[in-house]
Structure 1
Amino acid sequence: MNINQLFSEKRTGIQYKSTDKHTDARSEYQRDFDRVIFSTSFRRLQNKTQVFPLPGSVFVHNRLTHSLEVASVGRSLGSDIGNFIATAYASELTEQNKELYRHSLYNVISTACLCHDIGNPAFGHSGEDAIASYFQRNASQLKDKFSALEWSDFLNFEGNANAIRILTQKQNGKSEGGAMLTYSTLASIAKYPCESIAKNKNIIERKKFGFFQSEKNTFKDIAHETSMILVQENPLSYYRHPFVWIVEAADDICYNIIDLEDAQRLGFINAQICEELLQQIIEEIHGNNKWSRVKKKLDSIEDKNDRISFLRAVSIGALISRSVELYKKYFEEIIKGTLQTSIYDLIQQECKAIQTIKEFSKTHIYNHRSVVEIENAGYNVMYELLDHFIPSILKSEKERLGYEKRAVQLIPKQFLYEDKGDYEKVLGIIDFVSGMTDNYATDLYRKIKGIDIGMTL
């Protein structure tokens, strides 16, 4: 993998000529960040569940606030790592690429962090499960309508692949190229750069999959332009782009620590336990001397939430520092595609506190009754919405009964692909349903089920 070819300013849907120039003071990668921030799909994340139900009285993280915080951590990681690459590999880099690593890598990483969850449906992972399960449970009626590759996409529906689709596809009546982001940014969110039939849980870059058949050619272009290493052509699979490891580390750091803080604020866990777990991280990564200084500051804080916030900040800082050190250590393996352990898991191997927090969170947070209740409810809402629209869209206009015609009338125009094949028609429904916020999905479900009847203007 050529480290001079990891950046690409090429954008989906735009064909630049070599003489084309723009007068915008922003770099191409700063423009990416702004495009995501102002996009509708990003704004919708404010009403999508991260882990906990979205209560009115106590603020907890949703997908949008989580993504903003991941972007902040990613920016720090990208800045330190960019300076490292520009210095350590100065003899191999062109002057232009030295500048890109020093002054643009952190923009690429922070933008990729912003949109890393943009393909996740409402209700967290239960929304993903509902979409995959719908096709599993209705295989006898649906399977024969699709090719083996298309059917595999549906059976293994994945938010990561859906993110690439949302960011690159041309919706009906909308602009070519979707969000029109640079190929570097798009490559940086591809944790699993393979098609669905290439999935292999024992290989880090193939634990899930990263693009639907509908975006396969687009992804090939992204991979080629950003120097991704082809593993195999059939089924199609690549090694991860080196920037992916940074985005993944930022995400892992945030959700492992922030979920703990949210659980404490909601009263799921005791504040003292939360403090002790965060203390362990600081001591194991930075040692007792650092903890002594932290404790001196902590002793001056009385409010329990403020104490946790302070320890959270120090813990994240420690994890950022260690992530940078490990990225440097394993950089040669990363660019060759041979590393098979995430940066965060490498930290976990030497920091017992990380494993303790994961086990504690699984027992006391992710299996808390309120979390399980929202996952059950979300699964049913998403499943029933698909069941309302998919059978209708698969019939021709002439074959549809009255209620089926009315179901199709509820689908916004940009998600209707009546002139295309069954695969594209169903993807349009998935686009519609997976893009819904928790509230919108619940509201529509209640209305089509007759639970709420009345006029909405």
Structure 2
Amino acid sequence: MEWEQLLSLRRFGDAKKRLRKEQDETRLGFEVDYDRIIFSAAFRSLQDKTQVIPLSKTDFVHTRLTHSLEVSVVGRSLGRIAGRQILEKHPYLSEIHGYKFNDFGAIVAAAALAHDIGNPPFGHSGEKAIGEYFKNGNGQRFKNLLTNKEYQDILDFEGNANGYKLLTESKKGVERGLRLSYATLGAFMKYPKESLPKRPTQHIADKKFGVFQSDVDSFREIADELGLIATAKGTDVGYCRHPLTFLVEAADDICYTIIDFEDGINLGLISEDFALEYLIKLVKDSINIKKYNALVYMEDRMSYLRALAINTLISDAIATFVANEEAILKGEFNVSLMEKSKFKAQIQDILSISVKNVYQSQEVIEKEIAGYKIISDILEVYTTALIRKKDNKASNYDELIISTLPKFYTDTNGSIYSILLNACCYVASLSDSAAVHIHNKIMGKSL
């Protein structure tokens, strides 16, 4: 892969190539991507979507929105630092084409801002709940009406694929969604493959999937423009990652490792003494003990250690990225940057505590159970009504149910697959509170 191609400013519908040296420095194309994402309705809905604790009533626990903003900030730093070193190594990018190190930061920041934009309510259990409805619930009845790949799309409903769909989907009067630059869309694609075959290799890019069958053609166009290396065989669709995706992933890994841990402390699920001991192990080479001991309040001690920990992991991730740039460009680097971290042992210790004390806490488990029921019931009502309408068998109740959907999701002229996928994407678009509210309405609890 070549950096000039990977940094493409092209957007859908462009008649000619956008040149970096012709860009308006006051409103760079990659920065426009960031603006379009942050003003989108899908991004705003993240303010009421679970990061760790579903339906938390505390004001210091992270939502998907605050998490995404923090990941974006870390991603911007990673991109800028890496960009400076890449331009030093490949001066033609700057001297001939006009790229600057801030471009790399802007691309990573925008992709990182959007990295959770397609996630359903109730955290990762929301994805599982959607798939569970089609695997073990009444949704099984649709299996024989779909191709294997179409059925796998909804069986393993994936927030990353839904995110790509949200960012690029055409609607009446709006072609290709937000019309982001191809460089940003490429960096966003954490898993640049379709749902089948599942995990064809042990490469990190094959861990999950990132594009639904409905969006395969548009993704091929973007991948070809960026020069991503094809990895799939025959008619299957799969590519190596865009190199900057590794930085987007690292930003996410850094934030959830440190900040989910911090949420556990704030919620009282992890004791302060225990937590601080683990963080100090991570930052022991950079901590100013005198400054740390002068901090009276737990919140200030935590903030200080958090900042040190994030900076430590940023520097470590950059060192790994730069050292492996050639392998990354060849598509031969097959793990996350954090997997190669010299702090891997400390990171694993922190994650183990978070899993035990936070992710598997009784509060989280109880609310995830409720989320499964809520999502299953909503899917049952909407898929039944939409399919009956397609078959000209809709009851008055079905028509009433369909009338509560946004217009975009009411079209039943398409295939069974498109109707079911749209129903899943509608459920995924709901905030935690909206899902609860809709569930109460369809269960007759709001009267």
Same fold (TM over 0.5): yes
Tell me what 1:33 maps to: 34
**Where in structure 1 are there 5+ consecutive unaligned residues?**
none
CA distance in 1, matches of 2:322, 2:114: 25
**2:265 is the alignment partner of 1:264:** yes
**2:367 is the alignment partner of 1:368:** no
SS in 2 for 1:365: helix
Residue pair 2:80, 2:105 contacting (<8 A) in 1 also: yes
Tell me what 2:329 maps to: 335
SS in 1 for 2:35: helix
Question: Alpha-carbon deviation of 1:203?
Answer: 2.7
Question: Alpha-carbon deviation of 1:90?
Answer: 2.3
Question: Alpha-carbon deviation of 1:385?
Answer: 0.6
Instruction: Go from structure 1 to structure 2 and tell me whether the alpha carbon gap of 1:299 and 1:166 turns closer, same or farther (over 3 Å shift).
Output: same
Residue pair 2:112, 2:188 contacting (<8 A) in 1 also: yes
Extract structure 1 runs of 4+ deviating beyond 6 A. Answer: 19-24
> 1:92-241, aligned counterparts within 5 Å?
93=93, 95-97=95-97, 99-137=98-136, 138=138, 140-171=140-171, 173-200=172-199, 202-233=202-233, 234-241=235-242
**2:318 is the alignment partner of 1:318:** no
Instruction: Go from structure 1 to structure 2 and tell me whether the alpha carbon gap of 1:365 and 1:57 turns closer, same or farther (over 3 Å shift).
Output: closer
Tell me what 1:3 maps to: 3
Question: Alpha-carbon deviation of 1:155?
Answer: 1.1
Tell me what 2:56 maps to: 55
Instruction: Go from structure 1 to structure 2 and tell me whether the alpha carbon gap of 1:19 and 1:132 turns closer, same or farther (over 3 Å shift).
Output: closer
Question: Alpha-carbon deviation of 1:198?
Answer: 2.5
CA distance in 2, matches of 1:219, 1:306: 45
Residue pair 1:198, 1:209 contacting (<8 A) in 2 also: no
Tell me what 2:248 maps to: 247
Letter in 2 for 1:38: F
Tell me what 2:404 maps to: 410
SS in 1 for 2:359: coil
Letter in 2 for 1:387: E
SS in 2 for 1:232: coil
Range with bigger deviation, 178-187 or 140-149: 140-149
SS in 1 for 2:6: coil
Letter in 1 for 2:279: L
Tell me what 1:298 maps to: 292
Instruction: Go from structure 1 to structure 2 and tell me whether the alpha carbon gap of 1:66 and 1:57 turns closer, same or farther (over 3 Å shift).
Output: closer
Instruction: Go from structure 1 to structure 2 and tell me whether the alpha carbon gap of 1:57 and 1:212 turns closer, same or farther (over 3 Å shift).
Output: closer
Would you say how many aligned residue pairs link Structure 1 and Structure 2?
441
CA distance in 2, matches of 1:23, 1:109: 19
**Where in structure 2 are there 5+ consecutive unaligned residues?**
none
TM-score normalised per structure 2: 0.95
> 1:327-406, aligned counterparts within 5 Å?
327-347=321-341, 350-395=343-388, 396=390, 398-406=392-400
Question: Alpha-carbon deviation of 1:417?
Answer: 2.2
CA distance in 1, matches of 2:116, 2:53: 16
CA distance in 1, matches of 2:18, 2:124: 45
Question: Alpha-carbon deviation of 1:19?
Answer: 9.2
Question: Alpha-carbon deviation of 1:334?
Answer: 0.8
Residue pair 2:54, 2:368 contacting (<8 A) in 1 also: no
Residue pair 2:52, 2:123 contacting (<8 A) in 1 also: yes
CA distance in 2, matches of 1:55, 1:372: 13
**2:421 is the alignment partner of 1:427:** yes
CA distance in 1, matches of 2:76, 2:418: 36
Work out the percentage of aligned pairs sharing the same amino acid: 37
Question: Alpha-carbon deviation of 1:403?
Answer: 1.5
Question: Alpha-carbon deviation of 1:350?
Answer: 4.5
Letter in 2 for 1:158: E
Instruction: Go from structure 1 to structure 2 and tell me whether the alpha carbon gap of 1:338 and 1:35 turns closer, same or farther (over 3 Å shift).
Output: same
Letter in 2 for 1:33: Y
Residue pair 2:79, 2:102 contacting (<8 A) in 1 also: no
Q: Deviations over 1:44-66 (max 9, x none)?
A: 00000000134334421000000
SS in 1 for 2:99: helix
Residue pair 2:37, 2:114 contacting (<8 A) in 1 also: yes
Question: Alpha-carbon deviation of 1:101?
Answer: 4.6
CA distance in 2, matches of 1:10, 1:419: 32
Q: Deviations over 1:217-263 (max 9, x none)?
A: 00001101111101124321111110100000000000010011111
SS in 2 for 1:238: coil
Question: Alpha-carbon deviation of 1:393?
Answer: 0.7
Q: Deviations over 1:348-390 (max 9, x none)?
A: x654211111111111111111111121111211111111100
Residue pair 2:203, 2:335 contacting (<8 A) in 1 also: no
Residue pair 1:85, 1:101 contacting (<8 A) in 2 also: no
Question: Alpha-carbon deviation of 1:18?
Answer: 5.5
Instruction: Go from structure 1 to structure 2 and tell me whether the alpha carbon gap of 1:323 and 1:210 turns closer, same or farther (over 3 Å shift).
Output: same
Q: Deviations over 1:156-215 (max 9, x none)?
A: 1111111100100023x4511111111111111111111100221733111110100110
Residue pair 1:417, 1:424 contacting (<8 A) in 2 also: no
SS in 1 for 2:262: helix
Letter in 2 for 1:157: F
Question: Alpha-carbon deviation of 1:23?
Answer: 6.7
